[in-house]
Amino acid sequence: MLRTGAPWRDLPQEFGPWQTYATRYYRWVQAGIWTRVLEELQRQSDATGMVDWSLHQADGRVIRAHQHAAGARKRGPCTLPPPEDTAGVAVPPAGPAPETVVSSPEDPQPDEALGRSQGGFSTKLHLRVDRTGKILTFLITAGQRHEQTAVYRLMERGAIKRRGRGRPRVRPERLAADKGYSSRTLRRYLRRRGIKAVIPTKKNERRSPYFDKAAYRERNVVERTINRLKQFRRIATRYEKRAVSYLAMLTLAAIVLWL
pTM over 0.85: no
Q: What is the pLDDT of residue 165?
A: 78
User: What mean pLDDT is predicted for residues 181-200?
Assistant: 93
In the predicted model, is pLDDT for residue 81 greater than 60?
A: no
For the chain, the average pLDDT equals 84
How many helical (H) and strand (E) elements, i.e. helices and strands, does the chain have?
8, 7
User: What mean pLDDT is predicted for residues 53-59?
Assistant: 95
Q: Residue 165's CB: how many other CB atoms inside 10 A? A: 5
Percent over 90 (pLDDT), the chain: 59
- The DSSP result for 105-126, as a single string, is SS--SB-TT-EEETTEEEEEEE
CA angle 160/165/169 to nearest 5° reads: 25
The count of C-alpha atoms lying within 13 angstroms of the C-alpha of 26, restricted to the half-sphere facing its C-beta, is: 12
In the predicted model, is pLDDT for residue 178 greater than 60?
A: yes
Lowest mean pLDDT among 50-64, 108-122, 125-139: 108-122
Q: What is the pLDDT of residue 94?
A: 40
